[in-house]
Every structure is written in structure tokens, then in C-alpha cells.
Amino acid sequence: MGLVLFELRAAGGRAFSPYCWRARMALAHKELTPELRPARFTDIPRIGHGAKSLPVLLDGPIAILDSWDIALYLEERYPQAPSLFGGAAGRQFARFVHHWATTQLHPPIVRIGVADIWERLDAADQPYFRETREQRLGAPLESFRAQQPALLAQLGAALAPMRAMLVERPFLGGDQPSYADYVVFGAFQWSRVICPVPLLAADDAVQQWFERCLDLHGGLGRRAPAGG
């Protein structure tokens, strides 16, 4: 039975969600090609299965509602395909990187790009997005543009442990990427697809790693056009 991935899209089909990119990369790592079903924020209630966010993976009658749970599901369901975690300790690693990315990287990245995201959403999604994000962030979306230099500095400092890792090995996973890489890839691909502000200098080890990730799995990430 075929896999179906519901994926968040902006106007013109831009696939920008960091969590959906985690799922896309995890599926590709497992050598799986899901049927993609684009959806807007305002389409989510119609997906069913209790879905409140994207991605949603359908495997026949089974629905998996969260990118982390999708990774766990794929690892268990497809044990013969390349491992996403490399065992229990690697799963703890990926989970740490998940919490690290969510608490240390996403806050500056979303503020850098949030006004750009709003501009590029389908018109049907714009009121929902502005209302929920202005409530969450506590200020008008456009007000964060003036803070971009400070937010870029905050992001650059937060990336120090990853930069040190990438000086030693090409991926967080070591010689090959693991789900820990896809977690951070999602954050940078989010910005690449929908935000014109470069997050990193070309000679930053994290940018060079991101370029390597864009080339993985037949250039899956690079085929999504850069935004701006």
C-alpha cells in the first residue's frame, strides 16, 4: 500500500515547513517515495485523523501526525532500509538535536523570516498565520525585520556546537547523514525556500554542510527553488 505525505505549502507550491522537510528527508533516507498531497494551514482540519499540524503521513489505514513520530515509525516499519538513528543512543542524539533546534535555532530563524513567510502564503492562509504568529511572538510580524542583525548574531552563536562537529566530520551522523542532520536541515531549508535573507556566510562550516544536504537523495532539497 502506498505512502501519502500531506505537506504544507505556500502560494505557488513552495514547500517551506521545517517539519515537513524532516519527513521528506527521512522518507528519502528510507528509500521511500510517498505520494505528496500539498495542503495549506487552513486545509488541515479537512485532513482528518485528528491532524492539527503538518506533516501527516498515511500508511494505508495508519496516520502518523508528527514529524518525530514519523521518523520513529519509519525506523521501526522499514528496518531493512538504512537506519535513521543508528540505534537507541542515536535516537537520543536525534531527540537532543530536535530540542536544540526547536529552542535555539527556530526562534531566531522564524523571527528573521516571519514577515516573508506571510507575504508568500496563499491568501486564504494569511489571516490565520498573522493572528497566530503575532500572538505567539508578541509583536507585528514586520517589526522583526529591524531585529535581523541581532537575530543573525544570535543564530550564529547558537550554532557553535554544530560548527565544531562539522569541522571534525561531514555530517552530525558522522560520515553519513542521520535523522539529526535532517532535523537541522529542515530549519535551514525552511528559510532557504521562503526567506531572501542569507542566514550564513558561504564559508561557514554549517553552510557547507547545508549544501551537502541539499545534494542528498538525488538533490531532493535542491530541487525546491530558493525563495526571496
Residue ranges binding a copy of itself (CB under 8 A)? 85-90, 92-93, 95-97, 99-100, 102-104, 158, 160-162, 164-165, 168-169, 172-174, 178, 180
**Closer of 36 and 165 to a copy of itself (Cβ):** 165
**Closer of 124 and 164 to a copy of itself (Cβ):** 164
Distance of closest approach, residue 87 Cβ to a copy of itself, in angstroms? 5
Q: At a CB cut-off of 8 Å and minimum separation 6, what does 202 contact?
A: none
**Closer of 62 and 164 to a copy of itself (Cβ):** 164
Q: At a CB cut-off of 8 Å and minimum separation 6, what does 61 contact?
A: none
Distance of closest approach, residue 90 Cβ to a copy of itself, in angstroms? 3
Q: Output DSSP code: residue 87.
A: S
Of 202, 204, 182, 170, nearest to 75 by C-alpha is: 182
Distance of closest approach, residue 158 Cβ to a copy of itself, in angstroms? 8
Distance of closest approach, residue 94 Cβ to a copy of itself, in angstroms? 9
**Closer of 129 and 185 to a copy of itself (Cβ):** 185
Q: Output DSSP code: residue 174.
A: B
* Cell of residue 62, nine digits: 495508519
- Do residues 105 and 210 make contact, with C-beta atoms less than 8 angstroms apart? no
15-36 burial, b if ≥16 CB within 10 A, otherwise e? bbbbbbbbbbbbbbbbebebeb
**Closer of 117 and 162 to a copy of itself (Cβ):** 162
Q: Output DSSP code: residue 32.
A: -
Distance of closest approach, residue 105 Cβ to a copy of itself, in angstroms? 10
